[in-house]
Amino acid sequence: MRVGQNENKLNELMQLAKDYPKAFGLMISQGPMVAFLQGLETGVQSPWGSFSAPVYEIQKKLKLTPKEQQIDRQAGQLMADLNQQVMKEGKSIFGPSISNSDVINMLKPGFKESDAPDFIKYLALKHKVTNNFMGRINVAMSEYREKNPDASAYNFFNDKNSPYARLVGEHDATYAALVKKYSPYK
């Protein structure tokens, strides 16, 4: 079920980025004013204390139509859902007690509303490849355990007759081909 939900969310996010590119990456440009605004967004230290302003939110109100603002909100919700899924999976790495610093690190590779639409589509494609293989591995594990009822998960991941190694190899090849073909940064 999770694989199907993630697939639907990724497809919707990619479609929004394709159909409404103006709703993404509002502060992706160069220059001293943009640098100042981005600094203001994250916070500026002064002799009188630190201060920040919701620059990205202000940019949305200034640059996006009401419909584009709704698109931005929907895209933000999809991104939050997808990022939370990654964080749930990352919890096994970080352990049961996750600090604020851990959360920040887990979000770094995730989706951001400030990302360019091409990057969002590219990142979604990469997630789709992994999501697809997670589903295939789940099916393969169920079939393996049906044929080997006394086998543990360890056996599935380490048995030379298990399809796991083949699926991982296919995933890696598919992922590498995707990066080679679709990377917006080649």
Query: For 25-74, what is each residue's pLDDT tens digit?
Result: 766 665 676 666 666 666 667 777 776 667 677 777 878 899 998 998 99
Query: For 49, left (φ over 0), alpha (ψ -120 to 50), or beta?
Result: left
In a domain, 53, yes or no: no
Per residue in 104-161, pLDDT (tens digit) is 666 667 888 888 899 999 999 999 999 999 999 999 999 999 999 998 899 999 988 8
- Read off the pTM: 0.77
DSSP assigned state of 21: G
Let me know if residue 45 belongs to a domain.
Answer: no
The range of the structural domain enclosing residue 132 comes to 2-26+64-182
- Tell me the residue type at 164: Y
* 6 is a domain residue: yes
Which DSSP symbol is given to 109?
T
> Is 107 a domain residue?
yes
**50 in a domain, yes or no?**
no
Q: How far apart are CA 72 and CA 84, in angstroms?
A: 18
Q: How many domains does the chain have?
A: 1
Tell me if 44 is assigned to some domain.
Answer: no
Helices (DSSP H) in 20-116: which residue ranges? Answer: 32-42, 55-63, 66-94, 100-107
